[in-house]
Amino acid sequence: MEDVSDPPFRALCKEQGADVVYTEFISSEGLIRDAAKSLIKLDIYEKERPVGIQIFGANLDSMLRSVEIVEKTKPDIIDINFGCPVKKVVSKGAGAGILKDIDLMVSLTEAMVKHTDVPITVKTRLGWDHDSIKIVEVAERLQDVGCKAISIHGRTRAQMYKGDADWNPIAKVKNNPRMHIPVFGNGDVNTPERAVEMRDKYGLDGAMIGRASIGNPWFFREVKHFFETGEHLAPPSMQERIDIARRHLQMAIDWKGEKLGVFETRRHYTNYFKGIPDFKPYRTKMVTCDNPADVFAAFDEVEQLFGDYQFESVV
């Protein structure tokens, strides 16, 4: 997730039970131009492993050259993003834009598989629109050229993030007798029950969790606990939330400096402290202060005033 799954956030998700984490998606064109914004996304903490670096693009030469750059950071996986629906990506034929040209999608994947010893995986969507859903055939073709795993978002590009994700076509991919690589589902995995449903009802090999983890790295441990016991974990305490918020901000500052560190952690605070009565003034402080000391002071104030707040358990 762009501007979300940076090293500090990935480290927190890993601590909380994520099995594999992925970088923000990285432009192949940016990498070969030595664009600083792209290169910084290659940073990996050793404690994150296994970690995948996700790249996007539609030009064969650029994608192959970017693989050579990515290899130097020794990722465990290189993931190709054929699923981003954002206009600025799609307009260049990349991300979900490549769903209009399946032959190119397959040939790019094949070329990248042959160009590196790092396992190549693919993240994609059901199709460009409802009339072009051929994901069973597409997944089979990707497997046949060497793709090691596929993650499928249960919407078309035309849907963007509207409506409900449809996991039935993903199940058809998994149930195709010719498929032998892992098939992961994505889209609307926002409760432990939904993750179990993806596994048990639809038979998928796992779930790729994105938006549900923003400001909620505990989601991974909650899902795992529910898998094992069928019961919900107690929600993280206020003290744990404050401690995570502090650590997240400090790691972000250490990684990107004070200005970006403060700015890029703001998106997480709403969920870190969601559902607390009369909390708005304190949340506002967290997301408007530009000085790290002021944000840390806001955490201290919250700890003093709300430290005993009890979050309701999910039954």
Domains and CATH numbers, the chain: 7-229 (3.20.20.70), 238-306 (1.10.1200)
For residue 102, which of 122, 77, 79 has the smallest C-alpha distance? 122
Tens digit of each residue's pLDDT (9 = 90 or more) over 50-69: 999 999 999 999 999 999 99
Which distant-in-sequence residues (6+ apart) come within 8 Å of 242 by Cβ? 299, 302, 303, 307
Provide the phi-psi class of 252: left if phi over 0, else alpha when psi is between -120 and 50, else beta.
Answer: alpha
For residue 241, which of 312, 299, 313, 304 has the smallest C-alpha distance? 299
- Per the CB < 8 A criterion, the answer to whether 5 and 54 are in contact is no
Phi, psi of 185 (to 5 degrees): -100, 155
Active site residue ranges: 84
Tens digit of each residue's pLDDT (9 = 90 or more) over 65-91: 999 999 999 999 999 999 999 999 999
- pLDDT at residue 121 in the model: 98
Ranges of the chain whose pLDDT falls below 70? 1-3, 35-36, 314-315
Give how far Cα 133 sits from Cα of 139, 177, 203, Å: 11, 19, 20
- pLDDT at residue 44 in the model: 86
- Per the CB < 8 A criterion, the answer to whether 2 and 24 are in contact is yes
- pLDDT at residue 246 in the model: 97
- pLDDT at residue 40 in the model: 78
Q: Which residue ranges make up the annotated binding site for FMN?
A: 54, 123, 153, 210-211
Whole-prediction pTM: 0.91
- pLDDT at residue 39 in the model: 78
- The encoded tokens of residue 160 equal 């963007």
For residue 5, which of 21, 19, 16 has the smallest C-alpha distance? 21
- pLDDT at residue 2 in the model: 65
Which distant-in-sequence residues (6+ apart) come within 8 Å of 131 by Cβ? none
- pLDDT at residue 181 in the model: 98
- pLDDT at residue 315 in the model: 54
> What is the SS3 assignment for 294-311?
HHHHHHHHHHHHHCCCCC
- The encoded tokens of residue 144 equal 């046949």
- Give the three-class secondary structure for 157: coil
For residue 282, which of 265, 264, 267, 294 has the smallest C-alpha distance? 294
